[in-house]
Structures are given as structure tokens and as C-alpha cells.
């Protein structure tokens, strides 16, 4: 090769290297962008009925967009409604019992108890007179006009009437005093217990409707009308619209270039020209090996740190697991 050709070859190589260096500088230095690669992550919720009962209706299908508090499915409530009626009757009965204990004796009850005392006193006075008459005849006739048995019967009747008078007097005192505090408290507690039972049944009635906790999309529908629901058997799985984030990974050499709260934007292959705004929400403090699902030019054996970039996906274009690129302005 001639000297001129060698000179031209060297100059061409230098020009090529210069152009490549300029391109690298323009794209990696002057652009000032740090790019991370990861996947879209979305919170998921599995919904189940709390109480075992047969499913009556399923009102949504897979892929349906649902709003917060929208009814998604219902349970059969015929038995529950009957139990609520029974519980309401029990509440009313226990409340009346409590009022009886709390308000004490009515004037009519006190008057009745006093009348019973007066009646017992009258019977006792009559028994005393009968006994005296029998004794007088027994002494006058020396047992010939009235037998000893008649005398014994008169004495026994007097003792019975004395006991009845004492019982009537005690009852009269208790009616005037009214119920014991312990009895009033017991009646109150029974009333409260019946109210709690009714509240529990009414709660079960409200929870017989399965509602969406947030705006979401139905990902899976597991049960059908007629299936027996239980707390351990989800009816739906939902993908929540917000929050959404991209789970990406950064190596140690780039870790100092990002911080929590830093602005970023996310792009996806489906819309390469659409920049979805985001913000760094979390940077892991623990290093780990690069997960197999991460798309990064670094070797998989490098240690990286997890970064979560919260995104404002107003147009709802991001899907769970979708590959995404996160860019940061430096």
C-alpha cells in the first residue's frame, strides 16, 4: 500500500471514530437521560362474601370496568330476612322486660298487694274466733260436743292463715321496694344482647351484596349463580386503576442519580411517542440480583436496587406486567 493510501486510511478511520464519538456524546451525554427498564405493576384485589350462602346473582363479566361501591354480586337472603324479623321481635320483648324492671311496681300492683294483706288479716281474725269458739265448746262439754280432731283442725287453720298473712306482707313490701338493681341490670344486658344480635343480622344483610372497593377492572370471575359462597372462596379478582407504578431496577453506579420524589416519564412499545408522567416513590435499601423478567442491558449477575416509579396513567394505557422504559432528566 502506498504512503498516500495509508494516510487516507488513517484519516478515514479517525473521521469515523470522531463521528461515532460525537454520536455517543450526543445520545448519552448531552441528552442527559438515565433510562431504566422494568414492568408495570398494579394492585389486585380478590373479593369474597364474608358469610356462607348461595349466590343469587352475578352482575358483571370479566373485562368489565366497575366503579367504587358498584354491586357486583348478591347472595340469597330469604332465610336471613326471616331471622331479622325474629330478632326484631326478641329486641322488643327484651326491651319491654327491661322497662318493667326499670319502672318498678305500678300503683295498681301496690294496691293489689295491700288488698292481699288485708284479706289475709281478715282470714286470720276469723280463724282466731273460730278457734276460740271451738275451745270454749270443747271445755264446756268436756269433749262431748266437739271432738279433739275438730280442735286440731281449727288450730291448724289458724297457723295456715298466719303463714299466709306473713307471705302477703312480704310480697307487699317487695312490691313497694321495686325490683333489685341486679335484676334491672340483667334485663338491660339482655336487651343489649338482643340488639347486638339484630345488628349482626342486619350487617350480614348489607354484606350479602358484594361491592367494588375502588374503580377497577374485573380480571377473573370464579363463581356463578347457584354456587355456595364462603369467605375462603373468591368470587372475583379485580385490577385497581390507581395507583399504578413501574417496578424497575438500577445498578449501583447509577443509584446516586435518582432520589425519591424525582420527576420521570414512562414510555411503552405500544405508544413509543407518548410520555406518561411519573415520580419516584420508592428506592430499595437492599441490593439484589437482577430478576429474570427485567429488561436491561446489564449482566444478570450485577447487583441492582429496586425502584418504583408511580405513574399518572390518565388514559389507562398501562397493563399489568407490560414492559416499560423509565427516563429521568439529569
Same domain, 156 and 305: no
Same domain, 175 and 213: no
Q: How many domains does the chain have?
A: 3
Rounded Cα distance between 21 and 27, Å, is 10
Same domain, 132 and 173: yes
Residue 24 included in any domain: no
Find all residues with CB under 8 Å of 65, minimum gap 6, and list them: 215, 216, 217
Same domain, 163 and 140: yes
| pLDDT score of 120 | 86
Same domain, 231 and 248: no
Q: Which helix (H) or strand (E) holds 174?
A: helix 148-177
Q: Give the pLDDT confidence of 182-211 residue by residue, as tens digits.
A: 888 899 999 999 999 999 999 999 999 999
Same domain, 247 and 224: no
The mean-pLDDT minimum among 8-17, 43-52, 256-265 falls in 8-17
Residue 321: left if φ>0, alpha if ψ -120 to 50, beta else—which one?
Answer: left
Residue 1 included in any domain: no
Same domain, 131 and 50: no
Residue 9 included in any domain: no
| pLDDT score of 15 | 43
Same domain, 95 and 196: yes
| pLDDT score of 25 | 40
Top mean pLDDT of 9-18, 123-132, 134-143, 298-307 is at 123-132
Nearest to 70, CA basis, from 60, 56, 84: 60
Judge whether residue 222 has pLDDT over 90.
Answer: yes
Burial bucket for residue 195 (CB in 10 Å: 0-12, 13-18, 19+): middle
Q: Give the pLDDT confidence of 31-90 residue by residue, as tens digits.
A: 457 889 999 988 889 999 999 999 999 999 998 999 999 999 999 999 999 999 999 999
| pLDDT score of 8 | 45
Is the model more confident about 25 or about 191?
191
Rounded Cα distance between 150 and 130, Å, is 11
Q: Give the pLDDT confidence of 132-145 residue by residue, as tens digits.
A: 887 887 777 776 66
Same domain, 226 and 286: no
Same domain, 104 and 189: yes
CATH number of the domain residue 67 falls in: 2.40.50.100
Same domain, 158 and 263: no
Same domain, 233 and 247: no
Residue 10 included in any domain: no
Q: Calculate mean pLDDT across residues 301-316.
A: 83
Percent of the chain with pLDDT over 70: 82
Is the model more confident about 105 or about 186?
186
| pLDDT score of 293 | 56
Residue 270 included in any domain: yes
113 lies in which domain range?
83-203
Q: In which band, very low, low, confident or very high, does the pLDDT at 109 lie, cut at 50, 70 and 90?
A: confident
Residue 21 included in any domain: no
Amino acid at each position: 500500500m502506498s504512503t498516500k493510501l495509508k494516510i487516507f486510511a488513517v484519516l478515514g478511520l479517525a473521521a469515523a471514530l470522531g463521528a461515532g464519538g460525537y454520536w455517543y456524546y450526543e445520545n448519552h451525554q448531552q441528552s442527559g437521560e438515565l433510562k431504566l427498564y422494568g414492568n408495570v405493576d398494579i394492585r389486585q384485589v380478590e373479593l369474597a362474601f364474608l358469610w356462607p350462602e348461595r349466590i343469587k346473582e352475578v352482575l358483571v363479566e370479566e373485562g368489565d370496568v366497575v366503579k367504587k361501591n358498584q354491586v357486583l354480586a348478591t347472595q340469597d337472603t330469604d332465610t336471613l330476612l326471616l331471622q331479622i324479623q325474629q330478632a326484631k321481635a326478641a329486641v322488643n320483648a327484651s326491651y319491654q322486660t327491661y322497662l318493667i324492671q326499670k319502672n318498678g311496681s305500678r300503683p295498681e300492683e301496690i294496691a293489689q298487694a295491700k288488698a292481699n294483706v288485708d284479706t289475709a288479716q281478715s282470714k286470720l281474725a276469723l280463724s282466731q274466733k273460730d278457734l276460740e269458739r271451738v275451745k270454749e265448746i270443747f271445755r264446756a262439754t268436756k269433749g262431748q260436743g266437739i271432738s279433739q280432731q275438730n280442735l286440731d283442725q281449727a288450730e291448724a287453720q289458724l297457723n295456715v292463715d298466719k303463714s299466709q298473712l306473713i307471705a302477703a306482707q312480704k310480697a307487699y313490701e317487695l312490691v313497694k321496694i321495686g325490683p333489685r338493681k341486679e335484676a334491672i341490670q340483667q334485663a338491660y344486658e339482655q336487651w343489649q344482647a338482643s340488639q347486638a344480635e339484630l345488628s349482626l343480622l342486619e350487617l350480614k344483610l348489607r354484606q350479602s351484596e358484594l361491592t367494588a372497593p375502588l374503580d377497577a377492572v374485573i380480571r377473573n370471575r370464579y363463581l356463578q349463580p347457584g354456587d355456595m359462597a364462603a369467605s375462603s372462596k373468591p368470587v372475583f379478582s379485580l385490577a385497581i386503576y390507581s395507583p399504578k407504578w413501574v417496578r424497575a431496577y438500577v445498578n449501583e453506579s447509577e443509584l446516586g442519580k435518582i432520589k425519591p420524589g424525582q420527576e420521570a416519564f414512562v414510555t411503552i412499545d405500544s405508544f413509543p411517542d407518548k410520555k406518561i408522567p411519573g415520580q419516584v416513590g420508592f428506592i430499595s435499601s437492599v441490593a439484589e440480583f437482577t430478576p429474570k423478567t427485567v429488561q436491561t442491558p446489564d449482566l444478570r449477575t450485577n447487583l441492582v436496587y429496586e425502584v418504583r416509579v408511580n405513574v399518572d396513567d390518565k388514559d389507562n394505557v398501562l397493563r399489568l406486567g407490560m414492559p416499560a422504559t423509565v427516563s429521568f432528566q439529569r
